[in-house]
Structure 1
């Protein structure tokens, strides 16, 4: 299991705490430091939808110019923005055996999918 995110994100902290409390010992991948590939982002978008991978509620999205925001119209344009602004990726993304299974943190979803 790998958890993708950034360490100072409260949602990532909640997810990591839940996982630890439930006996999981995931590897943590800080995508601000270690990066992320377009291939991985495409897989996540295929799984969750690009609109769910792109965090439009976060500070990073709001700091983009209106022009940059308006250019995001599909998966390809979203990935282009996400590669340049990894903090705009909704987090955490949890992969099990190399397959993305969860995005963000919802305790009920974690219970249902991981227990």
Structure 2
């Protein structure tokens, strides 16, 4: 299975991550996260593989996150509700999201990409 790279084309961090993937010779399928966010099942799998708290998958600095007042709603939500909410709108998700080969990264930090995707 190859990598799936979920990004938002206007996102500078996403462009840096894409350049890193290309420079390091990784093959990937690029998906516009705003148009085609991961499904609930895909998100559940990514969250489980990542070992991260679901909150790490939210784009806390995004307009949509603030518009919907998600910060105040999260504490009362179940994990299933959080995943359902994320799957409804890719702009709620932290990006880029890179997934494949039993690994996941959320956001872009070059050190993380070196550790996860080079090996």
TM-score over 0.5 (shorter chain): yes
Mark the runs of 5 or more structure 2 residues left unpaired by the alignment: none
What TM-score do you get using the length of structure 1 for normalisation?
A: 0.83
Q: 2:111 corresponds to which residue? A: 108
The residue aligned with 1:63 is 67
Return 5+ residue gaps in structure 1 as ranges.
Answer: none
- Could you tell me the TM-score, scaled by structure 2's length? 0.81
Q: What is the CA RMSD across the aligned residues, in angstroms?
A: 1.8
Q: How many residues align?
A: 112
Of the three residues 67, 74, 83, the one matched with 1:72 is 74
1:102 counterpart SS class: strand
CA contact (8 A) 1:52 1:90 kept: yes
Q: By how many angstroms is 1:15 displaced? A: 0.3
The corresponding residue for 1:20 is: 22
Aligned counterpart for 2:38 among listed residues 33, 36, 39: 36
Contact 2:98–2:105 (CA<8 Å) still a contact in 1?
yes
